[in-house]
Structure 1
Amino acid sequence: MPPTIVTERSENTITETSDDNISDSLVVPFIAGTVELDGIIDEAVWEEATKVPLTFVTRPFENTTPPVLTTARIFENGESIYIAFTAQDDDPSQLRALFRDRDNVWDNDLVGIKIDTFGDSRLSYQFFVNPRGIQSDAIENQMTLSESDSWNAIWDAQAQITQDGYTVEIALPFRIMNFLDSDGPKRWRAEFVRFYPRENNLRISNRPVDRNNACGLCQMGDMEGFATAKQGQNLSITPYAVAGYARNREPVPSQDATDWRYQDNQEIGVDVNWGITSDMLLQATVNPDFSQVEADAGQLGINNPFALFFPEQRPFFLENADFFSTQYDLVYTRNIGAPDIGTKLTGRVNNHTFGILAANDESTTFLVPGNLGSSVARLNEESTNIAARYRYDISDDLSVGAIITGRHSEDYHNIVTGLDSRYQITPSDTLRVQVLRSQTQYPQTLFSDFCSNDCSADEDINEITLRTRESDTFSGSTYKIDYRHEVRDWYFYANRTSTQADFRADLGFESTVDRHKSVLGGGYIWWNENEWWNRFEFGGDWDITHNDDGELIEREMQAQVELNAAYQSYFNFQWVKRDTVGLRHNGASLTIDGNTTRFTEEQFSFYFEAQPSRTLYFENFARIGDRIDLRNDRLGDQVLLEPSITLNLGQHLEASLSHEYNRIDVNDKMLFTANLSDLRLSYQFSAEQFIRVALVYADIKRNTDNYLMRVDARDRSLGTQVVYSYMINPLSRLFIGYGDSAFADDENPGLLRTEQAVFMKFSYAWLY
């Protein structure tokens, strides 16, 4: 049980006397004044603010007494919410307070607030600040059980490190949040949180946690006030300019090749964000530059039959992306590569939540899924892309929704429609259901892009060739049912995903079709608060997958143990045994039985991470065991290692290095050895500016004598990027950068630079 808590009583203090007397309501006073944000809590207005003590450690322990004192203060003046934190520390020299870019300090000491402006436990805004004044904001979505720090709002905060810890002042304009713009007092929900990373990363809150309740947002406390709160005009206009110069050439077996193709790019455009009402946002972009500033993390695709996933990084698509989230990934905006115009309308009115996205694209890229692999199709046709999402919250426990996505070009279209529902049966039991239907038409010659030769013989044809050989419009369906029971000490889940062969979700990232999978799983959790470890879990699941014809594709058993311990460490050991299939013998047939070889893979994997100090973070994933050689349809032995280390060298410099080592042996001989190294160096001069260097190097060596077909003995690639950034706010930034890439193979043994580019991008937001 939580300990008895006694706090100093004053007129505006939330006072707790025991765990049975937790105040359910916090009154936020209206005070006609402002605060000069400097991180020093010395204005008289703070004495009139409501004081909130943070008296519970809610993770990794269960409502224990914090080792440090933390007090929050809060008031509002009709335009903004003002919050101050006094975060005491017995040894301020141990503060993890680094200069980093916005949203990159989640492992630091932090204080902040979570706010549910509709009070229905569907979504919360998160605002956190580290002792250097670096901001992090995010949106937590209870519907999809996800948190996204890709959302960025314009708000103010300052911090000061003191002899007793640190202090923070925050100003949150009402215009950055959606809420019901009604007259009179409003009832929202909130939680005040401090993260205290030492031997364990303690989450300290003003609210206790009930681990028998699977809904985290449901446990936030009520917050009353804001009678005169209005969002105002809520209009931002952000013009930007882009200038770039690039050149590229094809890899040729000569280091003296000079056949460069040159391209320069000078563009101007504008983004407009308009809060039509307090709960409806319209975004538009004209002549946008959707170029990506940050380099993607390196990935190896060798011996992987499915297309690689890269996360979205472009601001227009990231803003309010959670409005389109469902159990399926139906809106993967990396598919929209180079639009001329885009618009997005998102909002929430009473119990109705909606989002509409529309953008054109100068070409059309989409995923072609299968049951044993997937590939990417590209059409040199301009396309129109739309997505619309709607949800109705019948009650706090029951929601129903609908979604439609569409893509259309001259010889191609794909339309997806569907319904979904979430039902919180009890605080511990959740049921999610979704049903989708698609209609698709491919260009009649699309299939020829995936033939290994000229499609004239069976050996030229593969699964993707057959999946795209459609002369008429075709339709397919899919559904997903997911049930979860989660209480303090154990959990159980069961789900079924059933996808027909002709289902397509081309605006999304759904890489499998013709698969019907059932899963049963569960686990037990032990908790501890007095030893070197604090959480131990044993769990596992069983699943089975068939195709449309009922042929077995895969049967798998999995067991794992997890341990959370001192030094912010986490261990995961997993055993997997699966009965699965390899390549099709006859690529001209989609049959599984009699057309594939069945293999049994047994694998052991281990993951470990720790952050023993503010200087060092490291992790490693290792897997050993059986792995199918997907080039030659044989069972091999795999060793996979993925170590990563991050060093915080002082307060300003961060160096991170991740590596992937992947080796498969067949018949006691090496088949291939693949190495990928990703080095990132970042120097943060201040909260506003940084310079960052990225180097990504891949090296794949193959034993050509152990392959049944001709392959290159070695492939190498090197990508380099240097970026300087100065930020006034999330919408007003300057980027200057350089990037290049080089490639080598058997015909070109030296790394030949094939692409080079320099660019500058500047944007500035006017707020009204």
Structure 2
Amino acid sequence: MLRIFIFFWVNFIFCSAVFAQSSWPMNVPNSTKGIVLDGDLNEVQWQQAKKFELKYVTSPFENTEPPVVTIVRMFEDGKTLFVSFEAKDPDISQLRTFYRDRDKVWSHDLVGLKLDPFNDSRIAYEFFVNPFGVQADAVENEMTGNESDNWDAVWRSAAKILDDGYQVEIAIPLQIMNFEESKNVKTWGAEFVRFYPRQDRLRISNIPKDRNNSCTLCQLGEISGFKNSKQGKSLTFVPTLVLGKGRNRDIYDTGDWENGNNQEVGLDVKWGITPEVSLQATLNPDFSQVESDVAQLSINNTFALYFDEKRPFFLENSNYFTSNFDLVHTRNMNAPDYGVKVTGRVDQHTFGLFVANDENTSFIVPGNLGSSIAQLDQESINVAARYRHDLSDKLSLGWTSTLRDADSYHNYVNGLDVKYQISDKDVFAAQLLSSDTQYPIELYKEFCDNQCSDRNDLNETALRLQKEGSFSDKAYRLAYYHEERDWFTEAIYESVGEGFRRDLGFGTRVDRNRMILGGGYNWYSDHSWWQRVRVSGDWDISHNDANEILEKEAEIYLSIHGNYQSYFELGQLQRESVGLRHDPSLLSVQNNTTLFTENQSSMYFESRPVSYLYFSLSASYGDQIDFDNNRLGKQLALSPIVTLDVGSHLQLSLRHTYKKLDIQTDNLFTANLTDIRITYQFDQRQFLRFILIGADIQRNQDLYINYDVDKEYKSLGTQLLYSYKLNPLTKFFVGYSDSAEQYELIQRLTKNEQSVFMKFSYAWMN
């Protein structure tokens, strides 16, 4: 009995010491004297700062003792939070650090912190620096579970590599974050983190992580201070100048070049109206794609492809507009002349509003077996509004409205959503939406298979567009998640009515009701070549509004996290899915489609065995519907990625996609897509990059029974870009790009577009 008593109290004292730190705020000292950011920690302010150590490896292990020492110091001066890191290392020759562009260093040695200025476990700002001083910042949104480095703020840092490790100084202006301004001591959520990638990528923290708690931001520690801190009404003007010249031609017509010039002056404005509310505005913006999209193959695919938003104005505070359904996907707006956005958080109220025009209007026409892109030569007004009220730490209610309006077209969406953190392990989320839409009367004719002379010329897209006057419908989503240390489960039901549209968002499917049941089990090890083994899977079934089956799917996966930052996954899928409609002029599915049974095996592997090499391979083989000819074939798909760092400055990246679909013993098509990127990063601010993207598709014309196809298609695009960034707002770009195509009638790759461009922006900040 005495042994049991002693054992109980020893464990109680240990657990109290481990988990108490997350509930005891650490005081942040105030100092009115500034420091010089140079990577040295000689100033007296650092000696008087709050000092503590990172003592817990929270991933991939479970709160174990770290193999290296990391000392953190912090203080504030009323306007800026200063944080320093002493990252000790027994062998600095093993540092995994390179000169890279901002936000491209997440796999490196890093030190940094998370801050939740409202201390409500909703949103946290992240600030990280590698040993060469390259910055990375991000926003983590607990409401959606997303972590995005699209957010860019202006803050300062410096780093210095020593014989026994490296040191980093960080200065974060308080004005770049929203927080409640008052004369009282403020308590913020905070966590201080070091990433130590060697054989394993260790995440070292000042607080332990409870794997039985599914809420990440709920487990932040607390820091207190900032009594006299004021955010101020910060004001930033960013004028931009764009100069460009290009030419293009139709290589199947005359082949004559048509020249064009682009000379634009624009202005971006950022204003901190109050400490909690900010405004962003843009006039005559240039939204050209300096950051090229990752190439994607669209062959044998019936739904529109998704591309990430990369334009600064739309990325700024984009997390304010997120919800369960993707209602705001701003890549739908192609050529705005202006935009205005207001975002903020006041007490328990979070809100966002943006307005922008678009010279040409494009939107997705969704269906249940495919989707298309429609374009109108009409200017539209685009509006998104989002409001969330946090009734408590566990319960939040939200409202979202979007609007797209042109001369003969509109789409209005309104909806209510709720998230309830039932317990540390259980979450319930729901969203209910309604829409009202009107299409131009004659728009459907652009999608007819022939001349729309009779109903037999119609297809799903034309039928979805062929509506008189305005029409409306509803969509809703119910989701329950349970997650704890060893196992997890989820149950989701989503219904999207035939007439529901979310044209400002990314919605490719309607007339579809889907149920998902899934879960998995985890095994952990802190003393083996593997750290986690997981078995997971789900079952789902989809019907249209007429209760006709569209798809039934079951899949299971075995995954292993191991040494050398490796991850391995095996999967098996069985799916019953309908193919094309036999009579495309009818939207019915039963007795109008063939229900195919597909069995597919998949494999994924990735590893970073040494600091300068990363590789991954995604592979699958099995049954695949041939959507062009409505039959079942066998498909092999391979997607390798290799990244090689040569020295501290040069990076070579190769991404390839290979798809091969066979019909019985004959090959229907073979498709190759290659994306090569070579980047030389001179220092933290400037790089030179060359991109080459090439596609090669070979088809067997004899096997295409529904329509004629080209036997061969090739394309090649290149871009050469020089970039200099003084900070995220003050930037200079100059570059050249071109593209070429080859079809069956064009015997060699022929250029059809060429352009040179320059962009300069400079930020005046007050």
Q: TM-score, normalised by structure 1?
A: 0.97
Residue 178 of structure 2 corresponds to which residue in structure 1? 178
Aligned counterparts of 1:97 and 1:555: Cα–Cα separation in 2: 46
C-alpha deviation, 1:44, in angstroms: 1.1
| Counterpart among 393, 415, 419 of residue 422 in structure 1 | 419
Aligned counterparts of 2:182 and 2:716: Cα–Cα separation in 1: 57
Q: How does 1:201-600 map to 2 (within 5 A)?
A: 201-252=201-252, 258-600=255-597
C-alpha deviation, 1:16, in angstroms: 11
Over 3 Å counting, the alpha-carbon distance change for 1:16 and 1:500 in structure 2 is closer
Residue 35 of structure 2 corresponds to which residue in structure 1? 35
Write the deviation string for residues 430-488 of structure 1: whole angstroms up to 9, x where unpaired.
Answer: 01100100000000011011112111244422100100001210001100011000000
Contact 1:458 1:587 in 2 (8 A): no
The alignment status of 1:22 with 2:44, answered yes or no, reads no
> Which SS does the other structure have where 2:464 is aligned?
helix
> Which SS does the other structure have where 1:308 is aligned?
coil
The alignment status of 1:612 with 2:616, answered yes or no, reads no
Moved over 4 A (4+): none
Contact 1:572 1:608 in 2 (8 A): yes
Aligned counterparts of 1:650 and 1:20: Cα–Cα separation in 2: 42
Contact 1:16 1:22 in 2 (8 A): no
Report the residue type matching 1:651 in the other structure: S
Aligned counterparts of 1:16 and 1:373: Cα–Cα separation in 2: 54
Write the deviation string for residues 593-626 of structure 1: whole angstroms up to 9, x where unpaired.
Answer: 0000110000001011000111100001001000
Contact 1:458 1:586 in 2 (8 A): no
Residue 756 of structure 1 corresponds to which residue in structure 2? 754
Over 3 Å counting, the alpha-carbon distance change for 1:375 and 1:196 in structure 2 is same
Aligned counterparts of 2:15 and 2:266: Cα–Cα separation in 1: 54
Identity %: 51
> Which SS does the other structure have where 2:339 is aligned?
strand
Residue 62 of structure 1 corresponds to which residue in structure 2? 62
Aligned counterparts of 1:150 and 1:393: Cα–Cα separation in 2: 25
Aligned counterparts of 1:351 and 1:135: Cα–Cα separation in 2: 31
Aligned counterparts of 2:33 and 2:560: Cα–Cα separation in 1: 49
| Counterpart among 730, 733, 738 of residue 731 in structure 2 | 733
Contact 2:621 2:636 in 1 (8 A): yes
Residue 50 of structure 1 corresponds to which residue in structure 2? 50
Aligned counterparts of 1:16 and 1:243: Cα–Cα separation in 2: 62
Aligned counterparts of 1:434 and 1:627: Cα–Cα separation in 2: 33
Report the residue type matching 2:636 in the other structure: V
C-alpha deviation, 1:249, in angstroms: 0.8
Aligned counterparts of 1:638 and 1:240: Cα–Cα separation in 2: 48
Aligned counterparts of 1:20 and 1:35: Cα–Cα separation in 2: 34
Residue 97 of structure 2 corresponds to which residue in structure 1? 97
Report the residue type matching 1:276 in the other structure: I
| Counterpart among 685, 704, 707 of residue 704 in structure 2 | 707
Report the residue type matching 1:566 in the other structure: N
Residue 137 of structure 2 corresponds to which residue in structure 1? 137
Residue 121 of structure 1 corresponds to which residue in structure 2? 121
Write the deviation string for residues 146-200 of structure 1: whole angstroms up to 9, x where unpaired.
Answer: 0110100000000000001000000001111100011121011100000000011
C-alpha deviation, 1:273, in angstroms: 0.2
Residue 11 of structure 1 corresponds to which residue in structure 2? none
> Which SS does the other structure have where 2:726 is aligned?
strand
Question: Number of residues paired by the alignment?
Answer: 754
> Which SS does the other structure have where 1:22 is aligned?
helix
Residue 157 of structure 1 corresponds to which residue in structure 2? 157
Contact 1:154 1:176 in 2 (8 A): yes
Aligned counterparts of 1:94 and 1:711: Cα–Cα separation in 2: 54
Report the residue type matching 2:94 in the other structure: Q
Report the residue type matching 1:277 in the other structure: T
Aligned counterparts of 1:571 and 1:130: Cα–Cα separation in 2: 27
What is the alpha-carbon root mean square deviation over aligned residues?
A: 1.3
Aligned counterparts of 1:202 and 1:522: Cα–Cα separation in 2: 26
Aligned counterparts of 1:76 and 1:723: Cα–Cα separation in 2: 39
Report the residue type matching 1:556 in the other structure: E
Report the residue type matching 1:507 in the other structure: L
Report the residue type matching 2:297 in the other structure: L
> Which SS does the other structure have where 1:426 is aligned?
coil
Contact 2:419 2:430 in 1 (8 A): yes
Write the deviation string for residues 641-665 of structure 1: whole angstroms up to 9, x where unpaired.
Answer: 0001000011000110010000000
The alignment status of 1:76 with 2:73, answered yes or no, reads no
Write the deviation string for residues 496-518 of structure 1: whole angstroms up to 9, x where unpaired.
Answer: 00010000000110110000000
Aligned counterparts of 1:126 and 1:114: Cα–Cα separation in 2: 4
Aligned counterparts of 1:450 and 1:400: Cα–Cα separation in 2: 40
> Which SS does the other structure have where 2:325 is aligned?
coil
> Which SS does the other structure have where 1:467 is aligned?
helix
Unmatched runs of 5 consecutive residues or more in structure 1: 6-14
Over 3 Å counting, the alpha-carbon distance change for 1:188 and 1:696 in structure 2 is same
Residue 742 of structure 2 corresponds to which residue in structure 1? 744
Contact 1:329 1:510 in 2 (8 A): yes
> Which SS does the other structure have where 2:298 is aligned?
coil
Contact 2:21 2:221 in 1 (8 A): no
C-alpha deviation, 1:18, in angstroms: 3.6
> Which SS does the other structure have where 1:730 is aligned?
coil
Aligned counterparts of 1:601 and 1:251: Cα–Cα separation in 2: 41
C-alpha deviation, 1:57, in angstroms: 0.1
Report the residue type matching 1:239 in the other structure: P
Aligned counterparts of 1:731 and 1:745: Cα–Cα separation in 2: 42
Aligned counterparts of 1:52 and 1:140: Cα–Cα separation in 2: 24
Contact 2:571 2:603 in 1 (8 A): yes
Write the deviation string for residues 561-598 of structure 1: whole angstroms up to 9, x where unpaired.
Answer: 11100000001111110111000000100000000011
Report the residue type matching 1:111 in the other structure: V
C-alpha deviation, 1:707, in angstroms: 1.3
> Which SS does the other structure have where 1:19 is aligned?
helix
Residue 4 of structure 2 corresponds to which residue in structure 1? none
Report the residue type matching 1:328 in the other structure: F
Residue 724 of structure 1 corresponds to which residue in structure 2? 722
Aligned counterparts of 1:704 and 1:381: Cα–Cα separation in 2: 39
Unmatched runs of 5 consecutive residues or more in structure 2: 1-6
C-alpha deviation, 1:22, in angstroms: 2.9
Residue 689 of structure 2 corresponds to which residue in structure 1? 692
C-alpha deviation, 1:258, in angstroms: 4.6
Aligned counterparts of 2:503 and 2:223: Cα–Cα separation in 1: 43
Report the residue type matching 1:726 in the other structure: Y
Write the deviation string for residues 511-546 of structure 1: whole angstroms up to 9, x where unpaired.
Answer: 100000001011100000111000000011111000
Write the deviation string for residues 47-66 of structure 1: whole angstroms up to 9, x where unpaired.
Answer: 11001210000000000000
Aligned counterparts of 1:201 and 1:667: Cα–Cα separation in 2: 45
Write the deviation string for residues 251-276 of structure 1: whole angstroms up to 9, x where unpaired.
Answer: 227xxx65111110101010000000
C-alpha deviation, 1:233, in angstroms: 2.4
Residue 3 of structure 2 corresponds to which residue in structure 1? none
